[in-house]
Amino acid sequence: MSATITRRDVLKSSVGILGLSVLGAYEAFANDKNRRFKIGACDWSIQKMSEVEAIRVGKNIGLDGVQISLGTLTNNMHLRQASIQQQYKDACSEYGMSIGGIAIGEMNNIPYKSDPRAEQWVWDSIDVAKRMNVNVVLLAFFHNGDLKNDKKGTQETIQRLKKVSKKAEDHGVILGIESWLSAEEHMEIINDVGSPNVQVYYDVANSNKMGYNIYDEIRWLGKKHICELHAKENGYLLGQGRINFEEVKKAIDDIGYEGWIHIEGAVPENSDMFDSYVLNNKYIRSVLK
């Protein structure tokens, strides 16, 4: 797709698929300057992980912003460099976009619970978030970093979060835990850390896969403990998979959540990412109307 594609162009290209009612809801949402929610996507989900190009792609999809990666092991978490930060700021200015959050996905390979490199990344990410005017840093706890049924790793994670949480508080940055843990297990960590700046980064598809009742969990955790959400499906477009996003909307309405909701995954097998994300973007906006 051309870099000059407009939001109206992508709407016209798929209006026959979604229907006029969804199109109208999408445009009403997009034009509402006082809306509670901003819609973004993870840079890794739009195939531009740790690339400034993610901002242009996000603009072409019709997003409000992009959740960007602090970096990778290969580029030494390059968002810590002032020059890289400026490149993202320049791209946001050029395309009228926002940085919707920062994520440290490399913690799935380099575990926070055991590797000093990951501990340093989290410490540094707070400074980066402050410079980038970002409120939330996503801390990933999957694969090598999984905390499920790992009592020793969980205790070490708690101790490390205790050390960094004061800095997060001083800088006004939230550290969001995304993991396979249940709401109750997340709260055990949060209560032990004892900081309002350590919260849950709630991913509806992860929780559904684990068998948790996502709608009850969202209400139980409440606005106080959920910093942001991923609107996610594995192998389906949003609205065509396992998650009832109408019920998600009711739950977040009940707790008064407002802020960023980032689309992750949600590309069917053998489907084009860009076309899928245009549809995902319009669908989630129609639900959040």
What are the tens digits of pLDDT across the range 229-251? Answer: 999 999 999 999 999 999 999 99
- List of residues 6+ apart from 261 with CB closer than 8 A: 37, 38, 39, 40, 228, 229, 230, 231, 284, 288
**What is the per-residue pLDDT for 88?**
98
pTM of this prediction? 0.88
> pLDDT category, 49, cuts 50, 70, 90?
very high
Cα 147 from Cα 108, distance rounded (Å): 11
Top-confidence residue, 28 or 267: 267
**What is the per-residue pLDDT for 34?**
55
**What is the per-residue pLDDT for 16?**
46
**What is the per-residue pLDDT for 12?**
46
**What is the per-residue pLDDT for 32?**
52
pLDDT above 90 covers what percent of the chain? Answer: 87
Top-confidence residue, 25 or 275: 275
**What is the per-residue pLDDT for 26?**
47
Q: Does the pLDDT at position 273 exceed 80?
A: yes
**What is the per-residue pLDDT for 249?**
98
Q: Does the pLDDT at position 23 exceed 50?
A: no
Least confident piece of the model among 23-27, 117-121, 206-210: 23-27
CB 163 within 8 A of CB 156: no
pLDDT in tens, 96-123: 999 999 999 999 999 999 999 999 999 9
**What is the per-residue pLDDT for 110?**
98
What average pLDDT does this structure show over 147-152? 98
Cα 204 from Cα 71, distance rounded (Å): 24
CB 230 within 8 A of CB 12: no
What does each C-alpha distance from 234 to 56, 97, 140, 152, 265 come to in angstroms?
24, 26, 17, 30, 6
